[in-house]
Chains A and B, each alone.
Chain A
Amino acid sequence: MNLASAAGSDTLTPARSRPELRRRLVLGLMVVPLLLVLAWVLFLANGTSAGPAIKEPGEFLVTLLDGITVAGLFFVVASGFTLIFGLMRTVNMAHGSLFAMAAYIGITIQQTMVGKTRNIEAADVSLAAWFVPLLVGAMVAAVIGIVIQQVLLRWNEGQELRQALITLAVAVILSDQMLAWFGGLATRMVWPGAVTHFFEIAGERYATSRLFMLGMAIVVGVGLWLWLGRTRMGMVIRAGVDDRDMVRALGINIMAVFAITFFVGAFLAGVGGIMGASFAGVAPGADGQWLLNSLVVVIIGGLGSLKGAVAGSLLFGLVVSFSPAYLPQEFTFYSIILTFVLLAVVLAVRPYGLFGKAAA
């Protein structure tokens, strides 16, 4: 199920000379470094913080789980971004701001519900003291999102750059206002006590809360998949992705569909914000950081594609968790470069991402 505008197979790549041959060559060339990386992680990685996987299977498993669980968080945030782009071709630069807004509001509500503002222990936090902030925070993000869409984006549909700059201005304003209201200090949500345990896996302790995060992501992913694939509304959205004007001509109120999609996309940013605030906290700059994470995911996976968001999150999550663990210790600060290498490799093969298609 590809949300991207399906323009057949003729992607708009200029200079399509001998494309098939070239692609095979590039793919072939990519297998070699992939095997090298695998060999390195499995057998050779002495002098890294994790050690070769053959000798330290526990470390390997933990790194793998770290990658997959953080990919879950990436997916929740990026899925909203890609959903909005897929249907409306709006690049919502305020997506990270919606994330941060939900996070701050969630934190405030959790603090009120628990009854203290600092040193909140996981044991203090009931499931309600996590899910109520989640719902309220995400709803606020969704309402802000729909206001942005109705007031600022409804009348300039199709003007991609103008819309991106409008949402950029909104992001600048929101970020400044959040600084004024919530201050400049880093704060965080606390996972509910019910999911804050540790369990043993191949000799390593592992936090249940990370698996809970992955579980949330799977729920979101399956929910989106069912919504888009099995309901009438989802059918209309998919049709709208392919041909907005045709959907409109069939008498369907596409403006309502746009509004609902923006609502859901912003809501997902908010859900991600609560999860992210519980996972890593939130501080000024988190909005830009999470906008970037969404961008990396969709650039790798392809804008507008749900499958792409899954693939992009997984690849990005794995690179983020494996590179500090399996780079030689004196080079771990180069791990950011590997994110760039991942982007570069994907773009070299597919300029519009793994599952993306050029705009029609």
Chain B
Amino acid sequence: MTMSKSRIALLVVIAAVVALPLIGSDFFISFLMTRVLILAIAAASIVFLFRYGGMTSLAQFLIFGVAGFMVGNAVAESGKGLKLGWGPWVAVVFALGIALIVALILGALASRTSGIYFLMLTLTYAVIGYYFFGQVTSLSGFGGITGIRPPPLFDEHPERLYYAAVGLSIVAYVGFKAIARTPFGLALQGTRDDPVRMASLGFNVPLHRTLAFVIAGFVTACAGILYIWWNGQIDPTSISIGPTLDLLIIAVIGGISYLEGAWVGALVYVLANNYLRNVPLLDQIGITEARFNTVIGLLVLLIMILSPEGIMGIVDRLGRGGRGAEPSVPSIAKVETG
């Protein structure tokens, strides 16, 4: 079987990302690109839930944060939180376990709703989670947990953390695609397209949605662990409503129906955030770095008006040259009622 164009493109991108530390500066790799990848993995879980399950989840960053906070609580020996003082790898298992339980509970509760209700419910989860970690001082408090060191493998080796994020990105991308082809994944897509028919065929629709939510939760929890290793600290503000919506915005910019879109969106978002001040003339019309959110908001507005499928949707359309069949992906414009 000859390799398709998109597969070749994918391999080229992976090779470029792996080779990037050879040419990029330390700041570019360890600060920007690692952040891009971590956000992209979390955003990919949003895309997975939307594309295959028809669920628009805003709770992904909460689960991301739960994993981060649990690592912080487990490894810290002093400061805020539980101060368990465990080894870093035990902490990982612990954090993943807690995050999965949280994802299971939240997913089970939300699984009987869909569409716009799901969006609102998960947004509510996210904000309640923010206040939870803010108010429950035995776990964090508003000051957050600081001074977390990554395991010795990554300590003082930011480029290894970058490669870990690359590895996790590949696993998440390939894994999500693979899951979609399993019987479970096919049934999940069935519940997306017609829940009533799937239910009458004997499929347990809420169970499929819950399982998908847990799978997405696992991936985003892994990203959360990378995040606290990379950042060294986590506080409730980093999972508040702003960052939560930003993650959805990342998915939307890239194209919420395309798994690749998560990485594209994160790249655009982080680079815009960092290099906006370097764009000439922009500050003369009142757009400075401080008004980044206005720029991002306008970008999302523009995308939503002109091409709801985001950047990948445009690429996809150009790639097909206006010919060929419609893409077989769920479209924002087509999603109507739940």
Is B a genuine binding partner of A? yes
Listed in ascending order, the chain A residues whose CB lies under 8 Å from chain B are 12-15, 89, 91, 152, 156, 158-162, 164-166, 168-173, 175-177, 180, 285, 288-289, 291-292, 295-296, 298-299, 303, 333-337, 339-340, 343-344, 347-348, 351-352, 358-360
| B308 and A172 contact, CB distance less than 8 A | no
| B332 and A159 contact, CB distance less than 8 A | yes
| B336 and A172 contact, CB distance less than 8 A | no
| B242 and A288 contact, CB distance less than 8 A | yes
B268 to chain A, nearest CB (A): 15
- Given A168-B245, A299-B121, A352-B113: A337 in contact with B205 (beta carbons within 8 A): no
For A162, the chain B residues whose CB sits under 8 A away are: 304, 308, 332-333, 335
- Report the separation of the CA atoms of residues A358 and B118 in the bound assembly, to the nearest whole angstrom: 12
B243 to chain A, nearest CB (A): 11
| A160 and B304 contact, CB distance less than 8 A | no
The stretch of B18-26, B132-140, B150-158, B316-324 in contact with A is B132-140
For A159, the chain B residues whose CB sits under 8 A away are: 332-336
With a 10 A CB-CB cut-off, give which of A168, A333, A360 has the most chain B CB atoms: A168
| A360 and B332 contact, CB distance less than 8 A | no
Known: A14-B195, A161-B56, A352-B117. 11 other contacts (CB 8 A): A13-B112, A14-B205, A161-B332, A165-B308, A170-B297, A176-B292, A176-B293, A176-B294, A289-B127, A340-B128, A347-B112
- Report the separation of the CA atoms of residues A162 and B56 in the bound assembly, to the nearest whole angstrom: 11
Q: How many A-B residue pairs have CB under 8 A?
A: 149
The stretch of B85-93, B177-185, B196-204 in contact with A is B196-204
Count residues of chain B with CB under 8 A from any CB of chain A.
55
For A175, the chain B residues whose CB sits under 8 A away are: 293
Q: Is B300 interfacial (CB-CB < 8 Å)?
A: yes
| Between-chain CB contacts (< 8 Å), 16 pairs | A13-B112, A14-B198, A14-B205, A160-B336, A175-B293, A288-B127, A288-B241, A292-B127, A295-B124, A298-B120, A299-B117, A333-B137, A334-B135, A340-B125, A347-B112, A359-B337
| B337 and A160 contact, CB distance less than 8 A | yes
The 7 closest A-B pairs by CB, nearest first: A359-B337, A14-B199, A172-B297, A173-B297, A176-B293, A351-B112, A169-B300
Contacting residue for A333 out of B135, B196, B304, CB 8 A: B135
| A339 and B128 contact, CB distance less than 8 A | yes
A55 to chain B, nearest CB (A): 28
A162 to chain B, nearest CB (A): 5
For B332, the chain A residues whose CB sits under 8 A away are: 159, 161-162, 165
Q: Is B79 interfacial (CB-CB < 8 Å)?
A: no
A249 to chain B, nearest CB (A): 20
| A12 and B195 contact, CB distance less than 8 A | yes
- Given A339-B128, A352-B113: A334 in contact with B301 (beta carbons within 8 A): no
- Report the separation of the CA atoms of residues A348 and B334 in the bound assembly, to the nearest whole angstrom: 29
- Chain B residues numbered 255-285 whose CB sits less than 8 Å from any CB in chain A: none
| B123 and A295 contact, CB distance less than 8 A | yes
- Report the separation of the CA atoms of residues A299 and B128 in the bound assembly, to the nearest whole angstrom: 14
With a 10 A CB-CB cut-off, give which of A15, A171, A296 has the most chain B CB atoms: A15
For B121, the chain A residues whose CB sits under 8 A away are: 299, 343, 347
Contacting residue for A169 out of B132, B198, B301, B335, CB 8 A: B301
- Report the separation of the CA atoms of residues A156 and B290 in the bound assembly, to the nearest whole angstrom: 32
| A15 and B308 contact, CB distance less than 8 A | no
For B195, the chain A residues whose CB sits under 8 A away are: 12, 14
- Chain B residues numbered 292-311 whose CB sits less than 8 Å from any CB in chain A: 292-294, 296-298, 300-301, 304-305, 308
| B116 and A160 contact, CB distance less than 8 A | yes
| A91 and B119 contact, CB distance less than 8 A | yes
For B291, the chain A residues whose CB sits under 8 A away are: 176, 180
Closest to B286 in A: A180
A345 to chain B, nearest CB (A): 10
Q: Is B338 interfacial (CB-CB < 8 Å)?
A: yes
| B136 and A334 contact, CB distance less than 8 A | yes
- Report the separation of the CA atoms of residues A295 and B120 in the bound assembly, to the nearest whole angstrom: 7
- Report the separation of the CA atoms of residues A288 and B196 in the bound assembly, to the nearest whole angstrom: 34
A114 to chain B, nearest CB (A): 31
| A166 and B335 contact, CB distance less than 8 A | no
For A299, the chain B residues whose CB sits under 8 A away are: 117, 120-121, 124
| A160 and B198 contact, CB distance less than 8 A | no
For A176, the chain B residues whose CB sits under 8 A away are: 291-294, 297
